[in-house]
Structure 1
Amino acid sequence: MSDFLAEASEIQGDLVAIRRHIHQEPEIGLDLPKTQAKILAALDGLGLEITTGKALSSVTAVLRAGKSDKTVLLRADMDALPVTELADVSYKSQIDGAMHACGHDLHVAMLIGAAKLLVKNKSQLNGDVVFMFQPGEEGHDGAGHMIKEGVLTASGRKADRTYGIHVLSSAISSGVFTTKPGTMMASADEIHVTVVGMGGHGSQPHTAKDPIPVAAEMVSALQLLITRSFDAFDPVVITVGQFHAGTKANIIPDTAEFQATIRTFSPENRDRIKIEAVRLCESIAKGYGLKAEVKVVEQYPVTVNNDVQAQFVGKVAAELFGNEGYEDMPHAVAGAEDYSRVLEAVHGSYVFLGASVDQDFTKSEVNHSPRAMFDDAVLYRGTALLSELAVRSLNEID
């Protein structure tokens, strides 16, 4: 068997260079031509079957081992965020208003490293490996687009297993992996509400139909809904992040609008809250003689790890890095992921990797912060784990 930890350590310098090159030229959304070009250049000469996306700048690479019809899919997201970087690093973003504030540059580098190691150790693979480099995770459903374009069957048959890593700039010690069986991350949807009333003079509200207090009541009522209608042990989170109404203090506007994010941890509550939230807002508006136009914008489903595969990831991580290199994840987090779409279709597991630059990770800036920093010393660890998971899983698939 290969010593993937040692082999990954040997290419750590290359992984850092790739990561920092990508970090300096972040791209947002589904169209990431510069990032795609960097990935293609890094994979050149490895003998992989490579295809690029039609609706997005994705890269799908297939490593053929030829020993069986089994397939494992390894995934990394590629896109950045619309954030101006304030982190004090030598490889700071050179693009105004764009930053790899969620560590996707590290994900790409780790997956490129895994491709290099698995090509080198191709003889140990009892099946094929699909490397999924995905744009548009940050709200653009890149995974959904890639699934439509056939990434799950890129090897000629549907993948049997899938694994992916996400780095965290805080929340866990650097170099430590963590995951859990079952629900790992929440679903994410939005509710957009427009309360339609009738404008008028602020001194004579009785002659108008003021939408602002009605919309404000909806904001409060949504919080009451989740605390009185949903089980606290299967939580729902609703946060209103936008509220817009009016142009001047003494003018009652025709409309008031707000938007909220909805997070749930089970498919059942996801379905239910979308119905209940709409009913509540419409009923409140009707009670005051106004109208509510309510739209639910569906985004990402709950991220659910296969129980057996999550335990497998934990076992492999502990064996590779020692018990100090792996911790059981105590509970799910309310962040959301479009990798959930892959996990809905293929048995597998997502895993977090601590990449804090501080000895006390609780003092580190969180993912998405303009000051977020990620310790690229962990890159070889991610590469080693992905490589080990690919080899072992292909040998264990029935």
Structure 2
Amino acid sequence: MIHAPSDLLPALIALRRTLHAEAEVGLVLPRTQQRIVEALDGLGLEISTGRQLTSVTAVLRGGEPGPVVLLRADMDALPVVETTRLPFASPDVAMHACGHDLHMAGLVGAARLLAARREELAGTVVFMFQPGEEGYAGGRMMLDEGVLDAAGERPVAAYAVHVDCTTAGGTAVTRAGAIMASASGMRIRVTGTGGHAAWPEHAVDPMPVAAEIVLAIQSFVARRIPVSDPAVVSVTRISSDSAAGNVLSATVDMEANVRSLSRETLQLMRTELPRLVTAIGEAHGCVVDAEFIDSYPVTVNDPGETDEVFALLDEVYGPANVVRLPHPSMASEDFAYVLEEIPGTLLFLGVRPAETPAARAPGMHSATAVFDDGRLDTHAVVLAELAWRRLLRA
């Protein structure tokens, strides 16, 4: 088992809090990129940066021959105004409310642990620092820019850790198979003619048609999707071009968020939902334009790799503190793009502060979310040990 030196945790906490205070959103994170490059300096890594996004890819070549393993951390924050009042709270309209600051610090720690044992390392480790996880598909962009070939050959396995501020510290959580849902979207425009609210019979009013579409979408999920293969469709926005209470709108715009746990169900919704809403519009004399927007695929953990992850977690945390999720989450993750190409595992580590009762813990993405960074050394050890063991059993 790899052991963290006593000076690692204070260094990782300092790095995490610096990253937290300088939170940046999206694909272009210049300050964050600079901090990561500085934190990796002196480790003898082959470092490259992205072309379309401010990613960082670092390659550690071991002293012994062997295959390649990839470890990933996401880098971006959310457009949330932080209200935690922590001394290192972000002063900007951005906050690491999903724990990506801990992910970066933990991966830097893993790089330091593995670099210290480079001569014994039987293979190569790629460290993938990825912007744009929060809806920008930065993982897909890094794949397009060649991160999986950064070491000259493709990885045999890939791992990522995600922290969770609602799960007790010292707890690890994952599952084999689908662990997180796909996330897609649908944009809908319903076009009628507009007119006077007093005489709707002289117009084609798109508003009740939009209301019927909302109900039809919910019925579609309830009646066309099997309960054994769940899906969620949420209409998240409705707006019209009417600027007055006595004016019927000519157009109504809608957006929906679409989530599923299988490729088959995703394909069904991709085909049938636009057909359904278009037909409803036609039945009422409206024109409906529906655009289905593919985003993150289902995140699927490889069963074999996940068995090995559970074995390590049982050692590190104790079997009583390792949770085997019975069901996937309907949230999404763009590490899914990597796992479509490379067998691997996404796992969650609990970092709820000890003083925060479970019932009062703010959720992820909350302006009041607080993460215990006192376990970053264990976070780093888990990532480093996963890479080490996978290379040994190649």
TM-score by length of 2: 0.98
> Are 1:124 and 1:391, in contact at CA under 8 Å, matched by a contact in 2?
no
The reply on whether 1:176 has 2:171 as its aligned counterpart is yes
2:343 to 336, 341, 347: 347
The reply on whether 1:201 has 2:224 as its aligned counterpart is no
Name the SS for the 2:84 alignment partner: coil
State the shift of 1:385 in Å: 0.3
State the shift of 1:308 in Å: 0.8
Distance 1:124 1:162 in 2: 20
1:266 to 243, 262, 271: 262
What's the counterpart of residue 228 of structure 1?
223
Distance 1:159 1:41 in 2: 25
1:154 to 141, 146, 150: 150
Name the SS for the 1:169 alignment partner: strand
> Are 2:64 and 2:120, in contact at CA under 8 Å, matched by a contact in 1?
no
What's the counterpart of residue 133 of structure 1?
129
% identical equivalent positions? 42
Distance 1:329 1:375 in 2: 22
The reply on whether 1:191 has 2:191 as its aligned counterpart is no
Name the SS for the 1:218 alignment partner: helix
Name the SS for the 1:349 alignment partner: strand
2:239 to 244, 265, 289: 244
> Are 1:201 and 1:251, in contact at CA under 8 Å, matched by a contact in 2?
yes
Distance 2:215 2:84 in 1: 37
Distance 1:45 1:201 in 2: 71
Gaps of 5+ in 2: none
State the shift of 1:75 in Å: 0.1
The reply on whether 1:49 has 2:40 as its aligned counterpart is no
> Are 1:8 and 1:381, in contact at CA under 8 Å, matched by a contact in 2?
no
> Are 2:20 and 2:101, in contact at CA under 8 Å, matched by a contact in 1?
yes
Q: Deviations over 1:264-320 (max 9, x none)?
A: 000110111111111110010011111101001111000000011111111111112
Distance 2:371 2:271 in 1: 40
> Are 1:178 and 1:314, in contact at CA under 8 Å, matched by a contact in 2?
no
What's the counterpart of residue 82 of structure 2?
85
Q: Which amino acid aligns with 1:392?
A: R
State the shift of 1:169 in Å: 1.2
State the shift of 1:363 in Å: 1.9
What's the counterpart of residue 299 of structure 1?
295
State the shift of 1:161 in Å: 0.6
Distance 2:359 2:49 in 1: 39
Name the SS for the 1:68 alignment partner: strand
State the shift of 1:152 in Å: 0.5
> Are 1:81 and 1:99, in contact at CA under 8 Å, matched by a contact in 2?
yes
Distance 2:325 2:168 in 1: 13
Provide closer, same or farther for how the CA distance between residues 142 and 238 of structure 1 changes in structure 2, counting only shifts above 3 A.
same
The reply on whether 1:367 has 2:364 as its aligned counterpart is yes
State the shift of 1:123 in Å: 2.9
Provide closer, same or farther for how the CA distance between residues 153 and 66 of structure 1 changes in structure 2, counting only shifts above 3 A.
farther
> Are 2:63 and 2:120, in contact at CA under 8 Å, matched by a contact in 1?
no
Distance 1:325 1:388 in 2: 18
What's the counterpart of residue 392 of structure 2?
395
State the shift of 1:359 in Å: 4.5
Distance 2:347 2:76 in 1: 19
Gaps of 5+ in 1: none
Q: Which moved more, 1:351-360 or 1:221-230?
A: 351-360
State the shift of 1:88 in Å: 2.5
Name the SS for the 2:352 alignment partner: coil
Distance 2:168 2:272 in 1: 40
Distance 1:391 1:344 in 2: 22
Distance 2:339 2:145 in 1: 17
> Are 2:165 and 2:363, in contact at CA under 8 Å, matched by a contact in 1?
yes
> Are 2:63 and 2:118, in contact at CA under 8 Å, matched by a contact in 1?
no
Distance 1:255 1:50 in 2: 51
Name the SS for the 2:186 alignment partner: strand
State the shift of 1:377 in Å: 1.3
What's the counterpart of residue 107 of structure 1?
103
State the shift of 1:240 in Å: 1.1
- Aligned-CA RMSD value: 1.1
State the shift of 1:16 in Å: 0.4
Distance 2:150 2:321 in 1: 33
Name the SS for the 1:7 alignment partner: coil
